[in-house]
Amino acid sequence: MADSRRALFVAAAGGNISPILVKWWAQEGISLPGETWPALYGWLATTLIFAAFAGWVVTDVWKEKTSRRAFLVGLALPYILWGALADIAASAKVPRARAQSSAEAPTPAAPPQGVTGRPVAVYSRKAGAWLPIVTLKVEVVDTTSGAAVQDARISVQSPETDFAVSGSKLQTYALPIGDYHVIASAPGYSAARAEVTLTEEQTLPLKLQPLSWWGQFLSGVQSVVLPPARLPQTLPFEVK
């Protein structure tokens, strides 16, 4: 005997939001992703819309008959949609061509040493040479007031070496010379991006523009529809 339409709708919606509830239960507390109230409202509204969408799919599209199957469909639906979006995004990317070398360049016996005896360079297999380490300091300020932005997070990525640091609260980095993409973000602000070529110690100022109420609301919506992808934290160098 088929369950009622209302029971199927509620079961599908419950399955859709069950991963969030399980996460809260495992953490022994409720943690909401919105770091500002407008972002929280955007996250909550979009989550409820997705739950209602799951209920509609189960009752009107797939026409499930039992609450158990409705729950399972609602649970799986977000991963099906996000998987499809990830596949589309991956297929749109053009793979970067890399020169293949028949033999690896030999690694020097020892890196250059500083006055303290600590290494002042890292060896890059791609460049086949020791790359000097220099300091990059990132200063994140409010565009309107000029004051330092609290809780700013910085991501640094090298297109040449695949080195990446994601979402760090540090503002000073010891990096090999080269080109880097730098992104700064903070709750209530739009992200700022910059390209920098490191050849010596450098300070990079990044100014963040405060978001309007609706801008923060849409950032909460985006956190549900397109969850931010975290960069891998890697250092593909040999440090001696």
Residues 76 and 133 in one domain: no
In this predicted model, which residue has the larger pLDDT, 238 or 147? 147
CA distance to 57, 71, 82, 145, 210, per residue, from 75 (Å): 12, 6, 13, 45, 36
209: number of Cβ within 10 Å: 13
| Contact in structure between 121 and 176 (CB atoms under 8 Å) | yes
Residues 130 and 208 in one domain: yes
Residues 73 and 154 in one domain: no
How far, in Å, CA of 74 to CA of 229, rounded? 23
Residues 10 and 47 in one domain: yes
Q: Is residue 83 part of a domain?
A: yes
In this predicted model, which residue has the larger pLDDT, 170 or 12? 12
Three-class SS state of 1: coil
Give me the pLDDT at residue 213, please.
Answer: 93
**Taking 80 as the threshold, does the pLDDT of residue 117 lie above it?**
no
Structural domain including 138 reads 121-225
Give me the pLDDT at residue 237, please.
Answer: 38
**Taking 80 as the threshold, does the pLDDT of residue 20 lie above it?**
yes
Give me the pLDDT at residue 240, please.
Answer: 33
The mean pLDDT of 5-24, rounded to a whole number, is: 89
Give me the pLDDT at residue 60, please.
Answer: 93
Taking only the tens place, the pLDDT of each residue in 151-205 is 899 999 887 766 777 777 888 888 888 899 999 999 899 999 999 998 899 999 9
Q: Is residue 142 part of a domain?
A: yes
Give me the pLDDT at residue 119, please.
Answer: 56
Residues 73 and 129 in one domain: no
The mean pLDDT of 83-96, rounded to a whole number, is: 61
Q: Residue 221: which CATH number?
A: 2.60.40.1120
Q: Is residue 154 part of a domain?
A: yes
Q: Is residue 58 part of a domain?
A: yes
In this predicted model, which residue has the larger pLDDT, 81 or 200? 200
Q: Is residue 104 part of a domain?
A: no
Residue whose C-alpha is closest to residue 166's, from 9, 239, 158: 158
Q: Quote the tokens at residue 211.
A: 């978001």
Write down the residue that tokens 């700022």 correspond to.
192
Q: Is residue 103 part of a domain?
A: no
Three-class SS state of 198: strand
> What's the domain count of the chain?
2
pTM attached to this predicted model? 0.69
Q: Quote the tokens at residue 27.
A: 């953490």
In this predicted model, which residue has the larger pLDDT, 19 or 162? 19
**Taking 90 as the threshold, does the pLDDT of residue 231 lie above it?**
no
Residues 63 and 144 in one domain: no
Three-class SS state of 52: helix
Per-residue pLDDT band at 97 (split at 50, 70, 90): very low
Q: What angle do helix axes 37-56 and 213-225 make, rounded to 10 degrees?
A: 40
Residues 78 and 163 in one domain: no
Q: Is residue 106 part of a domain?
A: no
Residues 85 and 168 in one domain: no
Residues 88 and 150 in one domain: no
Residues 127 and 184 in one domain: yes
The mean pLDDT of 65-72, rounded to a whole number, is: 93
> Which residues lie closer than 8 Å to 177 by C-beta, 6 or more apart?
131, 132, 133, 134, 198, 199
Give me the pLDDT at residue 215, please.
Answer: 92
**Taking 50 as the threshold, does the pLDDT of residue 106 lie above it?**
yes
Q: Is residue 230 part of a domain?
A: no
Residues 81 and 30 in one domain: yes
- Opening angle at CA 173, ends 169 and 175, nearest 5: 145
Residues 128 and 213 in one domain: yes
